[in-house]
Structure 1
Amino acid sequence: MRRRVLLALLAFSVLAVAAFAVPLLGSTAAERTQQLVIARTADLDRFAVLADQAAATGDATTLRAEVERYTELYGEPVVVVDARRAPVVETGGMRAAEPTVAGLVDGALRNQPAEPLAPLRPWSREDVLLARPAGTGTKVSGAVVLRASVRATASDVASRWALVLLGTAAAAVACVFLALVMTRWVLRPLRELERGVRAVAAGRGDARVAAGGPPELRQLATQFNQMSDAVAEASEQQRQLVADASHQLRNPMAALRLRIDALGAQVPESGRRTYRSVESDLERMEALLDDMLALANVENRAARLSAGRDVAAAEAHAVCDAAAVATAQVDAWRSAAEQAGVTLRLAVRPALARCAEDELAQVLGVLVDNAVKYAGRGATVEVRCAREDDVVRLTVVDDGPGMSADELRLATRRFWRADRHRGTRGTGLGLPIAERMVSGRGGRLELRSAGRRHTTGGQEHEEPTPEQRTAEEHGPTEHPGGLTVVVELPAAEVTR
């Protein structure tokens, strides 16, 4: 935007300066040319008067002396002829018989008005011929032709044009400086607002911008800060409510668990089915409370990391060995995968990610748990880890039934579960927790199924993805009906 505004202002400035400079250059040249014509016309008038006197008296001595002195002084040839076109005076090597001179003489003897002289330019070098009839009224007694040099006039025009162009350049520089100042004055607050909006979109509810620029933008910045404060306060209250509710419900839930466990031995056989149903519901409620409390804690940490406040340096700049974390998670889930009839594979390359080790372990635990749980017996789950440029990419691939496009869009929504999985264990908070952890570290979580790709931003693309190329390097590509979940985190450099 800054470039477009600058280009528009500079184009307008150039046009405005050019609209002022071009006519000024033309008028300067025309004025100096007119001065030359006036000066030489005065000389021609004086010679014409002397020529008329010489024709009347028959004595051309004075005329000849004046013309010769003029040519000697100014170096400009003069030709004077009588009414019969006979030369009276010829100086400076110019002759009345020359075609151009003869043409001017004919026109002057016929008393025809001379054509106006075109404005001279700094590069004009060709001398000009001026003619004037001698005599009074309609009686023409001769003609005077003068060859005027334009070099001095052209040099004077060049000097004046240099001053005009210098002033034009100064005006152009002033316009450029003014355009830069105005653009910065107007656009800098807009960039601040853009940065604030992006921060709010990224989850930083307490983002603030500096008020500056025109009054309208200062007012807009103030209103944005008020909105940001309100969003931050509402978000904090929401997180605190979830955390408080989850924490306060844990005590009565623990008491209820003790009572149900105590009743287990006293329940008759006829009530065992109901007892197991109550126990299952209680386990689901306990898991839900644990996940809600975990989600509140994750959101609180992600908000603090994004805002860069109330975070220890070790936590904010945490770095972990992503390959080692992936290996540990595969080892931890291998037994559960075998019980579920799922083959668990590992393909990793060394990579350091900017993320706390416990957070990455929790994220991978959620993804591997979902893959083992929903891929189905006989499926294969592969965990991959590799670095590509400045990104560490961890991929969990399975060849199970996958998810539809509608399910992909809803997968990271809180408490959402697919209809076909309603009967399995889970709260629908695993992926939201993982996604919030990843985004808090400046990364992203991505899902893809059946050739489609879905990111947490909700956009779909059909083109091949980098993780597909990584998968091909590690081994066979995933089944078209499978599910691929990709976690991308900023990479860290190895320090020695």
Structure 2
Amino acid sequence: MRLRVLGILGTLLLAIVAIASAMLLQSVSRDATADLQLNRISALNRFVQLATHADLNSDMSLLQLEMDTYSDLYGEGLLINLGQRQLVSGSIDPQDPEVAQAVRNAELNLGLLQLPPIDPFSDATALLSQPFGNSAQVLGSVTMQVKLETARTKVLEKSSVLWLMVISLGAALLLLADRLTSWVLRPVHRLNDAVNDIAQHQAPVHLEEQGPPELRQLSRSLSRMAQTMAESLEQQQRLIAETSHQLRNPVAALRLRVDLLKMRLGEQADPAGVHAVESELERVETLLDGVMRLASAEHRLTEQRAGDALPDAAVRGQQIDVGQMLAEEVERQSEAARLLGNQLVLDASATSEPEAIAWCNGFDLQQMLAELVENAFKYAPGSSIVMGLELHQRTIGIHIQDHGPGMSAAELENAADRFWRAEQVRHRQGTGLGLAIVDRLARVNAGGLTLESSPGQGLKATISLPRHTKESEIHDES
């Protein structure tokens, strides 16, 4: 933006300099032309007087001598017509069309006493002509060929000085414009950086008040807005966490009352009705548990953003043997898979990788694996579920592949949103928070969640985490 503003100002200044230079050049040219014209007309009048008093029958040698002296001194030609006689000195050519025309005009009592404006880049000469005689007739004329070289040199010298002054002034104005532009735009850039920082970290910022009063006021307003937004986000997160926590007590009390009611009614209790109530209570408990875990993950993620956290040792947490973690999860979930008709398989390469060590929080990884496996049990019943891993230079990819109905591309875009569920599975029990929790926990551990699927070919969920290697240890120590 600064370059664009300076470009516009520079163009305007260049136009001003060009106009000012042209006007000053014309002024200098007019002054030089007026001085030269005044001087040459004075010389022209002198020769008119000499020619007027000359006797046609007398010797013209004195007049010729005066003319030659003048031509030698100034390098200019003279042509005097006196009756039938013609005197010439210098380089003027009587046969030149312009000279001949000036002589004819003088015979008609039309003098030429105006010099054209001096052009410093031209080498042309100029003519002055004045007739003389009595009131009845024109007796002769004096024509002078004016040499403009000296005047041009003076015009160039003065113009060069003026151009230098104008260019210096233009450069000073451009430098001043650069300072003013920086003074105005520096707060604008700070505001832009602050807005990007707020959008990325969702944390309050304090802006130094700089620039014009309007931008100072804008900085104060933005600081207040960022503070208000941060407080609002914190209040929302606190409200969700506190509400979820407070709801656990009445839900637990309801479950206790249902159990007591079953004991009192005994065989008179309606099994279907009691089961429905218990199912709803279980659903509410599952939902509250999911909301709490999601709120905790998002709060940790917000804190990391606010601190501009990087995947260093503090965030990475622990060195986790991913292969061993997968083997333990398969062992833990095998019985549940058997009861649901699923086959939970661990890729043999997962346990054979000697350097499958990831930087992450162990409890978070266990939660992510459990959520993805339960998600596969729920939406891909009776199918095989394969767990494995892929090693990359800086990351480890942990993938869980089911062989259920899969998702469309449009559904994959929304799968990690809170409370989102595909249309075809909304009749099944679920909260729509599982993939959202996995996504937030993966990001908390400096990783990410990617989903791949084609309708009818199952869903492949991959958790990417920072990989621990010897090179990373050397990098951390440095």
Q: Which band: TM-score by shorter chain? A: 0.7 to 0.9
Letter matched to residue 405 of structure 2: P
Structure 2 counterpart of 1:112: 110
Q: CA 1:7 to 1:400, structure 2 compared with 1: closer, same or farther past 3 Å?
A: farther
Paired residues of 2:376 and 2:385 also in contact (CA < 8 A): no
- Aligned to 1:415, the other structure's residue is in SS state coil
Equivalences for 1:204-353 in 2 at 5 Å? 204-250=202-248, 277-308=276-307, 314-315=313-314, 318=316, 325=322, 330-331=326-327, 334=330, 336=333, 339=338, 340-341=342-343
- Aligned to 2:53, the other structure's residue is in SS state helix
Deviates more, 1:390-399 or 1:304-313: 390-399
1:218, distance to aligned residue in structure 2 (A):
2.0
Equivalences for 1:40-439 in 2 at 5 Å? 40-55=40-55, 58-84=58-84, 86-88=85-87, 90-114=88-112, 117-135=115-133, 139-202=137-200, 204-250=202-248, 277-308=276-307, 314-315=313-314, 318=316, 325=322, 330-331=326-327, 334=330, 336=333, 339=338, 340-341=342-343, 362-363=367-368, 366-367=371-372, 369-371=374-376, 373-378=378-383, 400-403=404-407, 407-408=411-412, 410-422=414-426, 424=428, 426-437=430-441
Paired residues of 2:113 and 2:128 also in contact (CA < 8 A): no
1:152, distance to aligned residue in structure 2 (A):
1.9
Paired residues of 2:327 and 2:346 also in contact (CA < 8 A): no
Q: CA 1:18 to 1:483, structure 2 compared with 1: closer, same or farther past 3 Å?
A: farther
1:267, distance to aligned residue in structure 2 (A):
8.7
Q: CA 1:295 to 1:87, structure 2 compared with 1: closer, same or farther past 3 Å?
A: same
Deviates more, 1:255-264 or 1:414-423: 255-264
Structure 2 counterpart of 1:34: 34
Paired residues of 2:118 and 2:152 also in contact (CA < 8 A): yes
Structure 1 counterpart of 2:17: 17
Paired residues of 2:79 and 2:86 also in contact (CA < 8 A): yes
1:227, distance to aligned residue in structure 2 (A):
1.9
Deviates more, 1:210-219 or 1:415-424: 415-424
Which sections of structure 1, spanning at least 5 residues, go unmatched?
450-477
Paired residues of 1:257 and 1:282 also in contact (CA < 8 A): yes
Q: CA 1:106 to 1:206, structure 2 compared with 1: closer, same or farther past 3 Å?
A: same
Letter matched to residue 151 of structure 1: E
Q: Give CA deviations for 1:316-360 in whole Å, capped at 9, x if unaligned.
A: 5x48889x65x5665455464864246676999999999767656
Letter matched to residue 287 of structure 1: T
TM-score computed with the length of structure 1 as normaliser: 0.74
CA distance in 2, matches of 1:7, 1:153: 38
Letter matched to residue 147 of structure 2: S
CA distance in 1, matches of 2:120, 2:387: 81
Q: CA 1:53 to 1:406, structure 2 compared with 1: closer, same or farther past 3 Å?
A: same
Paired residues of 2:237 and 2:299 also in contact (CA < 8 A): yes
1:269, distance to aligned residue in structure 2 (A):
6.9
Q: Give CA deviations for 1:212-237 in whole Å, capped at 9, x if unaligned.
A: 32222222222222222122112112
Paired residues of 2:133 and 2:139 also in contact (CA < 8 A): yes
Letter matched to residue 225 of structure 1: S
CA distance in 1, matches of 2:62, 2:464: 105
Deviates more, 1:408-417 or 1:187-196: 408-417
Q: Which has the larger radius of gyration?
A: 2
1:204, distance to aligned residue in structure 2 (A):
0.7
Which sections of structure 2, spanning at least 5 residues, go unmatched?
none
Deviates more, 1:60-69 or 1:158-167: 60-69
Q: CA 1:312 to 1:99, structure 2 compared with 1: closer, same or farther past 3 Å?
A: closer
Q: CA 1:117 to 1:447, structure 2 compared with 1: closer, same or farther past 3 Å?
A: farther
Deviates more, 1:429-438 or 1:142-151: 429-438
TM-score computed with the length of structure 2 as normaliser: 0.76
Deviates more, 1:221-230 or 1:122-131: 122-131
Q: Give CA deviations for 1:71-118 in whole Å, capped at 9, x if unaligned.
A: 22222232323233x322x33344434554334323333333549544
Q: CA 1:364 to 1:485, structure 2 compared with 1: closer, same or farther past 3 Å?
A: same
Letter matched to residue 417 of structure 1: R
Q: Give CA deviations for 1:366-390 in whole Å, capped at 9, x if unaligned.
A: 45653554245446667675769x9
Q: CA 1:165 to 1:188, structure 2 compared with 1: closer, same or farther past 3 Å?
A: same
- Aligned to 2:42, the other structure's residue is in SS state helix
Q: CA 1:309 to 1:4, structure 2 compared with 1: closer, same or farther past 3 Å?
A: closer
**May I ask how many residue pairs the two structures share in their alignment?**
462
CA distance in 1, matches of 2:7, 2:448: 37
- Aligned to 1:5, the other structure's residue is in SS state helix
Paired residues of 1:367 and 1:396 also in contact (CA < 8 A): yes
